[in-house]
Structure 1
Amino acid sequence: MKDLGILKYFLGIEVARGKDGLFLSRRKYVLDIISEAGLLGARPVSTPMEQNKKKKEPIVSRSSVEAKYRSMAGTTCELKWLKSLLACFRI
């Protein structure tokens, strides 16, 4: 064992001693992650989404028949889930 002195930084946590006790902070750890991601100069926002994105659909149907089939399949899945949920409640 070796005495390394007063604890200042351990496992990503900064430790500061004050007259009221110990203060723990992860500021340095978070700044290191932000720096590695290349986002050190980024501005904070209230939501992590792009504003005014023009929200493209993930699936593009080739025909109206295919669109109706996808809709019907999704509805069937939801109805089967609802039926099993009601069965769990014995309704």
Structure 2
Amino acid sequence: MRSRIEHQKYYPRMAKRLSHEGVVHLKLVIAANGSIAELKLLMSSGYSSLDNAALEAVKKAAPFPDPQGYDRKDIALTIPLSYSLY
């Protein structure tokens, strides 16, 4: 799941130009069918462009594959996404 999200992550141009960096903490609940049941910003990076990019990355990564070894229940995750220029 993490690699799918990282693959969709992008750095907004204006944030790069302004040297904005930070970590976005998200709450993600994945339904048994792989869709997003809940997606919420838990802690902002301090920059709305980075926060929005992180939310978009998760949305683009869905639907998620059925994780083996789990019951057919929703899975709740807390995900930090880091945006660093160096």
After TM superposition, the score normalised by the length of structure 2 is 0.21
Structure with greater helix percent: 1
Q: Which has the higher contact order (CA 8 A, sep 6+)?
A: 2
After TM superposition, the score normalised by the length of structure 1 is 0.20
